[in-house]
Amino acid sequence: METSELLRHRIIKNLVLQHPEKVADTAINLWEQMATQIISVVGEGGFNSLYARSVFLAQSTFSWLAVGSLSAQSDDRFAELKMSFEGQKPEQVGEANSLLLITFTDILASLIGEQLTTSILRSAWGFDASNRADKEFKNE
């Protein structure tokens, strides 16, 4: 299981760093893609609870992360997160988003299992993302 967790974390870090010039937009895009898949499994309320807990935990490292609730409308769901990213340096946004995504997926994996979590992430972000991270992991 430890290897799977490291792989999941590596996938997240690779995706967050994919477009350093548009790190905030990339972050929101990753959250939107993941939210669609996870809401179909745990529902809107379940997703919102996991997200709120993840933000709360990540705030100990990045106090500027948005605290508020998610919007019910999917096109505006992460507006507060995007606003909190806007005043930060790209490196900080990337680090904060990596921590937030890793925290979220760690909590999710503890609830529904590593295999289902990884499957959901592959559905959300595509097989290419996980395959690239897997190849890099095996080359180390």
| pLDDT digit string, tens, across residues 99-125 | 999 999 999 999 999 889 988 999 999
Q: How many CB atoms lie within 10 A of CB 86?
A: 9
Q: Which domain holds residue 41?
A: 2-139
What's the pLDDT at 132? Answer: 52
Report pLDDT digits (tens) over 40-60. Answer: 988 999 999 999 999 999 999
Question: Given pLDDT bands bounded at 50, 70 and 90, which one contains residue 74?
Answer: low
Distance (Å, whole) CA 81 – CA 77:
9
The domain tally of the chain equals 1
Q: pTM of the full predicted structure? A: 0.83
In the chain, the percentage of residues whose pLDDT exceeds 70 is 79
Contact call for residues 100 and 59 (beta carbons, < 8 A): no
